């Protein structure tokens, strides 16, 4: 059973991702959320205006090791900043990430555990 806290956290993650895509000029993106027993996975893909350096930055941000003191305490900061720093914060929550960029389409596959 998904807890209220987890629901809030997932909502904040989705807000962060949506905001990021919109800020990068995306007008049409697809977001897919799947909740399993002990984790949830999120896939998002859309055409964005982004440089290769920015893609690398997204990759680095999301590859950071997740840590409990960050993911259960500072998660309230998600979607409060309004710039790329939110993607950086997101990295602390994500346990697995795959970043693909081809033909202007940025696809993110993310997975994080639920406690």
How many other CB atoms are found less than 10 A from the CB of residue 29?
19
Beta bridge partners of 42: 33, 110
* DSSP-derived secondary structure letter, 46: E
The reply on whether position 71 binds other proteins by CB under 8 A is yes
- Indicate the residue among 64 and 111 with the shorter CB distance to other proteins: 64
Distance CA 114, CA 35 (A): 9
Judged by CB under 8 A, the residue of 36, 56, 85, 95 near other proteins is 85
Residue 70 makes contact with other proteins by CB under 8 A: yes
Positions touching other proteins (CB under 8 A) are 3, 5, 64-65, 67-77, 80-82, 85, 89, 92, 115
């Amino acid at each position: 059973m998904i807890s209220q806290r987890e629901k809030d956290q997932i909502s904040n993650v989705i807000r962060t991702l949506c905001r990021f895509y919109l800020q990068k000029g995306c007008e049409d993106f697809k977001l897919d959320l799947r909740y399993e027993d002990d984790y949830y996975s999120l896939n998002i893909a859309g055409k964005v205006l982004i440089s290769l350096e920015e893609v690398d930055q997204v990759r680095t941000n999301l590859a950071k090791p997740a840590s409990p003191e960050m993911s259960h305490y500072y998660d309230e900061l998600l979607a409060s900043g309004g710039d790329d720093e939110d993607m950086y914060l997101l990295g602390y929550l994500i346990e697995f990430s795959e970043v693909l960029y081809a033909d202007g389409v940025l696809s993110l596959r993310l997975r994080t555990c639920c406690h």
